[in-house]
Structures are given as C-alpha cells and as structure tokens.
Amino acid sequence: MKGIGVSPGISIGKACVIRKIKSSIHEIPPESEADILKEVERFDLAVQQAVLDIEILLDKGKHTLLTEELAILETQIEFLTDPQLKEDVQIKISTEHKPVSIVLEEVIQGLIELFGQMDDEYLRTKAEDFNDIGKRILMHLNGGQATDQLLLPHDPCILIADDFSPSETISLDVTKVIGIATRLGGKNSHTAIIARSKGIPAVAGCGESLNQVCDNDLLIIDGLEGLVWINPDEANITKYTILQEEYRKHSEWLKSLKDTPALTTDGHKISLKANISAVEDMETVFEHGGEGVGLLRTELLFMGHESFPTEEEQFEFYQQIAGKSRQMPVMVRTIDIGADKQQPWLNLPAENNPVLGYRAIRICLDRPDLFMTQLRAILRASKFGKLKIMFPMISSLQELRSSKAMLMEAKKQLADEKISFDMDIETGIMIEVPSAALIADILAREVDFFSIGTNDLCQYTLAVDRMNEQVAYLYDPYHPAVLRLIQQVIQKARHNQIEVSLCGELASDPQATLLLMGLGLTGFSMSAASIPHIKNIIINNSIERARVVAQKVMLMEDSEQIKTYLQLINP
C-alpha cells in the first residue's frame, strides 16, 4: 500500500489493529432556565475532569516525555480552559436549546473546520487538538473514563488505526510500538510529529486499503518511501532487513552531527536555523544543532483568543523566546492572519479569494492599533535577545516604507516613555509575492535581510491554491519560473550585501539543498528535525559542485527534467 512517509525508518513486525467505535448520544433538549444551567454545569464538570486527565498524563510523563509532547498536552489544557470555549457552548445552549453534547460537537467541529482550512501547516495541526479535547469532554459527559494508555500486546507490534489523537499518541508505550500506519493523517499530524520525535517509523494517509490489515499480519513499514507491505515474501523481508540496519547506522551518524559546523568541503559556511511557533520549540532547535530561529510564527499567540492579545501578553511571549535563544538570532514574523487564518474578533467579511485578499501586512497597516501593539511588544523584548523583525506579504515599496514608519513610531513612543529596547534591531521582509521578487533590488536597499517564503511564492507565481485538491498537482516548487524568481532574489540580496535565507518547505527538501546552495543561498530555515539531514548533505559537498548543479538546472526547461536530474545526483 502506498501512503505518506511521515516518520523515517523501517520496521518489520506483526500488526495490532485498533478499531474505534463512535458513541451515540440521545439526550433531551433543555427548555427551562434551570435545564440550561444544568447543561452548563455538566459541561463545566466534564471540562474539569478532562483537564485532570491531561494533568495526570503530564505528571506521569514529566521526566520521560519529550519537549514536543509536553507542549501538546500543555496546549490542550490551554484550549480546555479558554473562556471563549465555555462562552460559545453556553450561548448555543441558551439560544438554540440543544443538549450540551450536541452543542459541544458543533462548537468543536467549527473550530476543527476553522483551523483545518488554514494554509499554515503548523496551525492546521491544532484542529487535531480540538478534536481530541472534544472527544475527551464528550466522554466525561457520557460518564466514561479516560483510556489514554492503549492496551497493546506484550510483544512489540505495528499499530494500525484510522488515526490517533494527540494524547493517545503521546501515551503510547514505545517499548511495544515499533511502527505505525494510519488510514488518515499527513506529514504534520500529531501522529507524525510524535512518531518522529520517538523514532517510530510511520506511514499515514494509506486510505481505505489499510482496512484489509488484520491482527498478527506480518507487516513492513517503510517510512522513507511511504510504503506498507502486508505479509511480504522472503525476498522482501531480506531486502528490508538489510535496509533497516543501514538506516539505523545512518541515523546514529546524523545524531553525532549536532555540534558539527555546517561547512562545505571547500570551507563555505551555511547557516541552518529552525521554524518555530512556541516557546517550547526552542529546546528542539538546539537539540538538532540549529543556529537560531529563521521564522518565529506569531499567529498561534493570536488564535483562539476572544480579543486581540494585550501588549503585556505579547511581550511576555517574545521575552520567553528571547530568554531561551542563547543569544542566537530569532526572526520574528509579524502577525500573518486573515485569509485562511480568520479570527472572530477581527470581524472580517467573507471573501471570494481570501488568499489574495485582506491578510497579513495589509491588515496591520489598515489596523495600526493592532500593529503598534505587536511592534512595541517585540521591541521591548529585544533587549533580552537577538530578535529581528520580519514583515510578511510585502508586495510593494510603499507597503514596506509604511511598515518601517510604523516601526519608527513604536521606537519613538518607547524612547519617550524611557523604555529600553534594541535601537539597532534588524528589519527584514518575507519575499513571498512575485511582485516583491521582481523588485528585490529596490527592496534590498531598504532592509537588513530577506527571507524567501517558497510556499506562498510558489502558489502565487503558478496561480495554484495548494489547499485545493483539484489543482494541487500543479503546485510545483521546481517549476522553472519559481526557481528563476528565487535565483533573482538571492542575486539582488547578495549584490546589496544583505542576508538572505529561505524558510519554505523547499529548505528541508534534501533534493533541493545543492541546487539552492549553488544559486548562492547561505541560510536555510526548516523544522528542527530536518536540520541534521540537510547538514549532512552540506558537509559532504562543495560549493563548486553545487554551482555546477545549479547551472545545469537553470538551463532545463521543465520541472520533471529538473526533479529527475536532482534525484540522480542525490541518491
């Protein structure tokens, strides 16, 4: 079966199939004020029990859980105790006179749809958290008990399921689980994130064909190629046993590179940073040998709030990030909301083409009260670390200058108030709109650095909504037009002697590493877990070879030819 390889590695073992049964709910709608109050009280009690479940998980795992796992559980407690969740449930019970269980499902489904439609992959994973806490609250409403510890066989096994909730994945006894395959999910599902962090080979998105797997079937999980073999023959077992040992040795080698500088064989330094969204992510950056943060997404700070976070709330967040940065650079992207990242407190109108509409820097410049609050908070935190400010979605010189003017005003306000901050804080922009790429020479004279966001740059250049399944096949970062824009941006940045990095998905694609280096890129930012693999490519190649690769690629006429060539030179 073909799926999506979401956690690399190979495992061979017997299947343990987890089948889940949905509970049916039959309740009487509340009519009187007393009935409504009773339903709200039931909700409050169920939430308290759900929080207790997670606190127990946290307490049991405080010395054993990884940073990523602790962060997921802590986030779920924040969601459970968010006053907005209770308010939404209470209003629907009062106005629609529905039982709390029905209301809960509707509210949670609304949050799942809100986050699930977002373009940002990290934020899309939050939909799983809401699904998880919704099921947990519902279980307590029905008088059930938490069953976080899945009952597994005594022998090591490969888990087969539709999918796993975040808390189920975290509580897995990894001594019993050697592989995972799920019918649903993708590369950034919680199952994938935790499987990678625990070193469990996993394949997601296998589809309905996974239903044919039975308990005790012999399976091979190939998390590298996204394959699941059912009851393989001896030849395949022998083949994958050899591959499994080779991968184990390679993984040990990658771990040893944590403190190795990312230097090419001819002595050129490449900077490897990480993309993060939370304070807890900082530790994983350094665990994988990262040299700071190339993209701090600030959106999560604004999601799920009933109002715009105050300056103090934002300052505390940025200060914590700076405090954990070890004085390494942290590029803070100002708020990128709107379009797929809607917020109720913004009261944004519906748009036919939201990705091309009112979002990111456009909202900030239109709402200077919001923008000024964030800029002041970032500046105040800048004295605690090497923070840099990065404006997203810049499409013109006028937008950039307006943004810089707002920043200057924020600095003036703080100076007048005698509040200290880094007067020399560096300022840069995301290059993710074709118009910005085409005038990169003009923009470069106004900023300290560029960060190329290939995800948006690709979809805007090719007129492809990558979230639309009907046209997603056209989304292609190796399209010659996209590569030419990247090349132009790098050249203009280098000509104007400013820093340039790339923080889109292309940065973590091993097939693209030599090409990007050959185009002159010296800064990559990616998920922390991808850093060792990319570093290994860098330290085993020269800039001279990378330039030859880039020269050949830039003469090619179509992406299929480019990808075939890159696969040949990157076995």
Q: Which residues participate in catalysis according to the annotation?
A: 190, 503
d(CA 496, CA 450): 11
Q: Which two tokens stand for residue 438?
A: 């085409």
d(CA 86, CA 489): 48
Q: Which two tokens stand for residue 532?
A: 């060792």
Give DSSP secondary structure letters for 482-504: HHHHHHHHHHHHHHTT-EEEE-S
Please report, for residues 23, 29, 36, 89, 139, the alpha-carbon distance to residue 98 in angstroms, rounded to integers and kept in the order given. Answer: 18, 5, 9, 10, 18
Query: Of 490, 511, 484, which is closest to residue 502 (Cα–Cα)?
Result: 490
Query: Of 527, 544, 487, 504, which is closest to residue 265 (Cα–Cα)?
Result: 544
> Which residue reads 């076995």 in tokens?
571
d(CA 180, CA 16): 10
Residues 6 or more apart in contact with residue 53 via CB below 8 angstroms: 136, 146, 148, 167
d(CA 127, CA 111): 7
Residues 421 and 386: beta-carbon distance below 8 Å: no
> Which residue reads 């900082």 in tokens?
282
Residues 6 or more apart in contact with residue 346 via CB below 8 angstroms: 337, 338, 363
Query: Of 511, 506, 514, which is closest to residue 485 (Cα–Cα)?
Result: 506
